[in-house]
A and B are shown apart, each in its own frame.
Chain A
Amino acid sequence: MNLTQIKTNKKYIITSVSGDNTLCRRLLDMGFAPGSEISDAASAPFGDTKLVYLRGRLIALRSGAASLVKVEPSRG
């Protein structure tokens, strides 16, 4: 599954980031590296921009970028 499909109040682990090169690099630099824990924080009023928690920080991203981030539910 990818980041657009995550549910609130659950933790996920990033498994891979792949697709459009520039966008991927941006994501990786921002900390969306494989192995990182991530969870859902909020959704914007219109459109498909969402807010996620990553390493204690809030990051907003559109579904175009979010769909490049593959995740799996965290077992921890």
Chain B
Amino acid sequence: MVNISLAGNPNVGKTTVFNRLTKSFEHVGNWHGVTVDAASKEISFEGERLIITDLPGIYSLTPYSGEECISRDAIYTGGDLIVNVCDAGNLARNLYLTLQLLEYGANVVLAVNMVNELSRDTKLSYEKLSRTLGIKVVPIDLKFGDELLTEALDALKNKQKAAKLVYLDKLPLDDISRVIKDNAYLAGIPERYAVVKILEGDAYITEKLNLTERQMRELAKYKDRQAEVAAARYGYIDKILSEVFTYSGNEKNDRLGIDRILLNKYLALPVFALIIFSIFIIIFGEFRFGDITVGFIGYWLKFALSAFIENCIKLPMSSALTDADALPWVTGLVTDGIIGGMASVLIFLPQIVLLFFFLALLEDSGYISRVAFMTDGLFQKIGLSGRSVFTMLMGFGCSATAVLTARGLDDDMMRKKTVALTPFMSCSAKLPVYLAICSAYFAAGQVFVIIGMYLIGIGVSVAYAAIGQRISRFKSGSTGFIMELPPYRFPSGARIFQLLWHNAKTFVIRVGTAVFLLSAVVWLLSHFTFGFVYTGNSTEGSMLWHIAGAVSFIFAPLGFGNANAAAALISGLVAKEAVISTVDALGGINTVFTGQFASASAFSFLVFTLLYIPCIATLTATAKETGVKWMFFCSALQLFAAYTLALISYWTGVLFISHTGIAVTVFAVITVALLAAAAASYLLKNKEKPCGACRKKCKSRKSCGYKGE
């Protein structure tokens, strides 16, 4: 049995290599910090049992956040071999970690990834690089074969002779060596490595060395030499790279390319809004002109699938059951309960798969890192950072998996807040609810209501974050935001197919398990009394009617104070899709929202579904990441937002429907008042003066950052 770890900088394709070696489907994306936990899998290769471990990305062996410590510990505690994955287009920064691995004395094989992305004018000599570093170097791309593992096994059998790291001679290593020699031996840390880490002020190694106070005093003068160490390493790297790379042709002049527009100070945010809006139109857009419906790919796929389910599954099944003279409750359970419930969710398969597809496209292309950059200023004002964007964007897919990605945030309060706010990002499981209710009540304006839901969710999270930043207990520390923007990459055809297939499969499995079970249970509970008597076509007197009826008064002020709505929201705690499958199993949307103000009730119900407590999976993940106390705190925030905003939307809706004139007037007055207040506060705010000290003309003392030469 051999342990091989994949280590390297963030976003160099470690997980892609892992997936290819082990035939897995771990989440990948073109941004930093996708992987937050180590993943291992056993494979067999040429008769050997290999355990391959994928580690979170690190820049150095002196880490900052939790997930980076996982990688450091894995490298320190062993593994027989480290495959150091590098990005061919970013070797300088990648080799910085490689040098540290060699300083530590690890057995390393360098896998130079994405060699296909090197421009044609660039030649990279792998033999020279291998000779200089004294380790095996294997060039790979997306379609690499056995060569990586063959070389890795060879490196295990025949010990490699790492080159002498000459740059270390520039540092005062011997002086420190004398002091800590015995400590390093006792701690089992390679002596030269321990010395370098002392110069870098590495707290972890210093603690391991167990130094006496006298030794500490002797070493005091070597503190704060990290810049010197970094300069020595980078100087060596620049020298190596000038030897192994040969360029022909001219250096590109316009290095920004399309980013000149996408990252333009004024165009960046409008272009981002336009991209998101287009995605929504493609997925959900359907516009009715008289009898003709114009829709995009999402609409037509849904249309075809719903016709298929109705004609090829539901109708034959129900006539078969009628022909077989099945008991009426069995027919009801199967056709209305199970098939009806599952179908109500399943018909949205194309739209949900499309949503995941576009999310993956944003991630894979590298655009999402640009979004993090362009929104960082806004996020900074509310105590978050551009890094939170990744987690929140993932929240549009699935909150439960998204909250895990918050681990990459180094400020603890910021991490907890990001976890708290992620469930407000409307997750994909809520889509069937919006789509089903919208097509019943807001047919033509469907796409706008859906966009509205997303905006309400974002608005609530921004409001909470802004309030949190004003309360000292919830204020985030000001962490430096330093993030690399990856180059744009476009996913291959195979990757697109894999994404669509994987997401469709995951969704169908969810419908086949959670939604299937809930539909059956809800139908049975709603068609049998406590004495197990079948209630026939009506749900009146059933178990669910009594239970949900008892709590439904809570929702009366929101416009949906009936047993069916309450039951739907309760089953939504298991999985959000179940909100709509429950409504369907209980007799359809029309039984939930009734009367003159049905559409106001429907809208308020949508708002409540968007904001109230997320599913159990998300609650569990929140508790695991931030503690049970914080989870309950989040739930309280969610319930408060859900109830208040649903209340406001219902009564606003009612006012609009009954007294349109008054409503419009009230809104006009409120809007004008708000605008006036904003203008007044802007005018009254003390305008900042230039600092007057710096040579360039800055706008304010605060933003200048000038601290004297």
Contact = CB atoms under 8 A, between A and B. Distances in A.
B703 A43 contact: no
The 5 closest A-B pairs by CB, nearest first: A47-B377, A46-B377, A65-B480, A28-B230, A29-B59
B231 A34 contact: yes
B218 interface: no
B227 A64 contact: no
B268 interface: yes
A33 B263 CA distance: 26
A27 B92 CA distance: 14
Contacts of A43: 265
A2 B60 contact: no
Interface in B215-265: 224, 226-227, 230-231, 233-235, 255-256, 259, 263-265
Interface string A46-76: 1111010101111111111111000000000
A45 B227 contact: no
A31 B705 contact: no
A42 B234 CA distance: 25
Contacts of B233: 33
B186 interface: no
A35 to B, nearest CB: 6
A36 B235 CA distance: 9
B485 A27 contact: no
Contacts of A4: 704-706
Contacts, number: 155
A33 B705 contact: no
B378 A64 contact: no
For A51, A57, A58, the residue with the greatest tally of chain B CB atoms inside 10 Å of its CB is A58
Contacts of A63: 703, 705
Given A4-B705, A31-B234, A55 B92 contact: yes
B86 to A, nearest CB: 13
Given A25-B226, A47-B377, A49-B373, A60 B269 contact: no
B485 A2 contact: no
Contacts of A62: 376, 380, 480-482
B483 interface: yes
Contact of A44 (B59, B93, B265, B694): B265
Contacts of A55: 90, 92-93
A60 B373 contact: yes
Given A43-B265, A58-B259, 18 more contacts: A2-B707, A4-B706, A16-B227, A25-B201, A29-B59, A29-B96, A34-B230, A41-B255, A44-B268, A45-B265, A45-B377, A47-B378, A49-B380, A55-B92, A57-B93, A57-B484, A60-B482, A63-B703
Given A29-B59, A65-B482, A60 B89 contact: no
13 contacts: A2-B707, A4-B705, A5-B695, A25-B200, A29-B60, A31-B234, A33-B235, A44-B268, A48-B377, A56-B89, A58-B484, A59-B485, A65-B481
A68 B60 CA distance: 20
B64 interface: yes
Interface of B: 59-60, 62, 64, 89-90, 92-93, 96, 200-201, 224, 226-227, 230-231, 233-235, 255-256, 259, 263-266, 268-269, 372-378, 380-381, 386, 478, 480-485, 694-696, 703-707, 709
B629 to A, nearest CB: 27
A5 B696 contact: yes
- Secondary structure type dominating chain A contacts: mixed
Contacts of B89: 56
Given A33-B227, A45-B374, A27 B482 contact: yes
B227 A34 contact: yes
A72 B485 CA distance: 24
A2 to B, nearest CB: 7
A30 B709 contact: no
Interface in A9-35: 16-18, 20-31, 33-35
A28 B226 contact: yes
Contact of A35 (B235, B375, B377, B705): B235
Given A30-B59, A56-B90, A5 B706 contact: yes
Contacts of B381: 46-47
Nearest to A4: B705
Contacts of A57: 90, 93, 484-485
For A2, A36, A62, the residue with the greatest tally of chain B CB atoms inside 10 Å of its CB is A62
A58 B482 CA distance: 11
A33 B478 CA distance: 23
A67 to B, nearest CB: 4
Contacts of A29: 59-60, 62, 96, 230
Nearest to A5: B696
Contacts of A42: 256, 259, 263-265
Nearest to B480: A65
Nearest to B478: A64
A48 B377 CA distance: 6
A61 B381 CA distance: 15
Contact of A18 (B96, B227, B377, B705): B227
